[in-house]
A and B are shown apart, each in its own frame.
Chain A
Amino acid sequence: SAVISQKPSRDICQRGTSLTIQCQVDSQVTMMFWYRQQPGQSLTLIATANQGSEATYESGFVIDKFPISRPNLTFSTLTVSNMSPEDSSIYLCSVPTSGSYNEQFFGPGTRLTVL
């Protein structure tokens, strides 16, 4: 199993500012996923981050709003830019098991509140 940590665990931010969320994995993984869980709702995929290439964004999510970096095989960041109260959510990173996509491990999440 993979151990995933995220920083910060939670934050309260002002409208118009940006927050960068870090995701650290204890093993090398090719693919990492970023999800958003809005209050009381399910998880929605934001983007897939592969090391050495541009992230692939899902419909409704754009790079200018959610820029992603993937500098190496154990680390990724997601930035929530120009935040509004609608961005208040839990943001989670996820990785598949090594050599298989039949299981995914999730980080503990970053709980973001935008005032």
Chain B
Amino acid sequence: AQSVTQLGSHVSVSEGALVLLRCNYSSSVPPYLFWYVQYPNQGLQLLLKYTSAATLVKGINGFEAEFKKSETSFHLTKPSAHMSDAAEYFCAVRTDTGRRALTFGSGTRLQVQP
């Protein structure tokens, strides 16, 4: 079975500081990994995805994530936080076999302080 664990339900950073949101996955087969963002009272928007083409994945709004197989991790980073980055972030996994739906982590709420 596949699963993801997001460490830290709440992360607070200052504007301009580095953003690091942690995600570890568990999968018996090579996974596809995703980061989604959910702004208040809105649906989910795809930030970026890893589908085995490149280990460092760049997404929208300056976010990127690095797939590290040895650490079973897919942490999300952004060099400089902006106030508009305040949102809920979800890591999700899907494997190429079996169920086609996504398995989501518990989410991390990012707060950006002025």
Q: Which residues of A contact B (CB under 8 A)?
A: 31, 33, 41-45, 48, 92, 94, 96, 101-109
Asked if B101 and A45 make an inter-chain contact with CB atoms under 8 angstroms apart, the answer reads yes
> Are A42 and B104 also in contact (CB < 8 A) when A101-B94, A102-B51, A103-B49 are?
yes
The residue in chain B whose Cβ has the minimal distance to the Cβ of A47 is: B101
Q: Which 9 A-B pairs have the closest CB atoms?
A: A106-B44, A108-B43, A43-B104, A42-B104, A45-B101, A106-B43, A42-B106, A102-B51, A101-B100
* Residue from B32, B49, B90, B100 having most chain A Cβ neighbours under 10 A: B100
The residue in chain B whose Cβ has the minimal distance to the Cβ of A108 is: B43
Q: Please list 18 pairs of residues, one from A and one from B, whose beta carbons are closer than 8 Å in the complex, sorted by A's number.
A: A31-B100, A33-B101, A42-B90, A42-B107, A43-B44, A43-B102, A45-B101, A45-B102, A48-B99, A48-B101, A101-B100, A103-B34, A103-B46, A103-B49, A106-B44, A106-B45, A108-B43, A109-B43
Interface size class of B (residues with CB under 8 A): 20 to 34
> Are A42 and B105 also in contact (CB < 8 A) when A92-B43, A103-B49, A108-B43 are?
yes
Within 8 A of A (CB), among B62-96: 90, 94
Which chain B positions have C-beta within 8 A of A43?
A: 44, 90, 102, 104
Does B28 interact with chain A (Cβ within 8 Å)? Answer: no
Which chain A positions have C-beta within 8 A of B94?
A: 101
> Are A102 and B101 also in contact (CB < 8 A) when A42-B106, A43-B90, A108-B42 are?
no
The residue in chain B whose Cβ has the minimal distance to the Cβ of A102 is: B51
New A-B contacts (17) at CB < 8 Å, excluding given A42-B104, A101-B32, A102-B32: A31-B100, A33-B101, A33-B102, A42-B105, A43-B90, A43-B104, A44-B104, A45-B101, A45-B103, A48-B99, A92-B43, A92-B44, A103-B46, A104-B46, A106-B44, A107-B43, A108-B42
Which chain B positions have C-beta within 8 A of A102?
A: 32, 49, 51
Which chain A positions have C-beta within 8 A of B45?
A: 106
CA distance A45 to B42 in the complex (A): 18
